[in-house]
Amino acid sequence: MIKAVIFDLDGVLLSTDQLHYKAWKHVADLHEIPFSQEDNHMLRGVSRQECAKLILNKTGDQYCEDFKNEFARIKNEYYQTLLDHLSNEDVAPAIIILIRQLKGMDIKIAIASASCNAVKIIKKTRIDGYIDVLIDGTQVVKSKPDPEIFLKAAQKLNIDVDKCVVIEDSPVGIEAARRAGMKFIAIGERRLHPNVEKVFSELAIASADEIIQF
């Protein structure tokens, strides 16, 4: 029986995908590095530092760690200005209803996000009051697909991994959930998640019963 739902944040509870794209595109343009929407899609679920390395590695040039760190810092600085415009209207009403339904069924709610900006995002969108546990990028050493972030969420919730279901939109997030020994649901196009049993095009169309029935 499912006792906890662990949500990814970006691309699941709300879409900040285009904000990430604009921020990475901004810093890439400063250094005349090509960066496309497809490139941005491949970075879903990956930590900021790892994203910077992946973008720079694609150029074939060698960059020192200081440059990679500065590249990531500039991206985050620009991204922060974009986040300032977030509000509760950026979360679909159907998602709030879904979370309330889960809470009404005594299901614990956690967010496990690679983002180091997760606290700011959930406060700006006013969903912090629904969350029992938040594990973000500042609390983990290893990035997805390592299961560390989900295992920490389960530990903090004090719920066994086999009683947790993860809702993710990225392949690395799904793999992290699999490695953690948890059940999982994918958000997005079915073709992007061919080996996942339950896939919803978007979280807003899912029901509480569909999520916890495993």
Mean pLDDT, rounded, for 58-83: 95
> To which residue do tokens 């995908």 refer?
17
Whether the Cβ atoms of residue 130 and residue 99 lie closer than 8 Å to each other: yes
User: Of the residues 8, 39, 136, 169, which is catalytic?
Assistant: 8
Mean pLDDT, rounded, for 108-128: 94
User: Of the residues 10, 39, 136, 169, which is catalytic?
Assistant: 10
| Rounded Cα gap, residues 141 and 137, in angstroms | 8
Strand partners, 199: 186
3-state secondary structure of 125: coil
What letter represents residue 171's amino acid? P
Confidence of residue 116 (pLDDT cuts 50, 70, 90): confident
| Rounded Cα gap, residues 174 and 157, in angstroms | 20
What is the per-residue pLDDT across 7-28, written as a single tens digit (0 to 9) for each?
999 889 998 888 999 999 999 9
From 36, 58, 5, 3, select the one nearest 168 (Cα to Cα): 5
As a whole-number percent, the residues of the chain with pLDDT over 90 amount to: 81
> Does the annotation count 146 as an active-site position?
no
Confidence of residue 213 (pLDDT cuts 50, 70, 90): confident
Taking 80 as the threshold, does the pLDDT of residue 5 lie above it?
A: yes
Taking 80 as the threshold, does the pLDDT of residue 214 lie above it?
A: no
What is the per-residue pLDDT across 176-204, written as a single tens digit (0 to 9) for each?
999 999 999 999 888 889 889 999 999 99
- Residue 20 has a pLDDT of 93
Question: What's the predicted TM-score (pTM) here?
Answer: 0.83
What is the per-residue pLDDT across 124-134, written as a single tens digit (0 to 9) for each?
999 999 999 99
- The span from the first CA to the last CA of the chain, in angstroms, equals 7
> Does the annotation count 66 as an active-site position?
no
State how far the alpha carbon of 43 is from the alpha carbons of 24, 47, 52, 97, 180, in Å.
Answer: 10, 8, 10, 29, 21
> To which residue do tokens 């691309």 refer?
11
**Domains of the chain, CATH where assigned:** 4-14+90-212 (3.40.50.1000), 17-83 (1.10.150.240)
Whether the Cβ atoms of residue 172 and residue 10 lie closer than 8 Å to each other: no
- Residue 68 has a pLDDT of 96
From 206, 11, 185, select the one nearest 90 (Cα to Cα): 11
- Residue 95 has a pLDDT of 94
- Residue 47 has a pLDDT of 83
Count CB-CB contacts under 10 A for residue 199: 16
From 113, 108, 139, select the one nearest 14 (Cα to Cα): 113
- Residue 39 has a pLDDT of 93
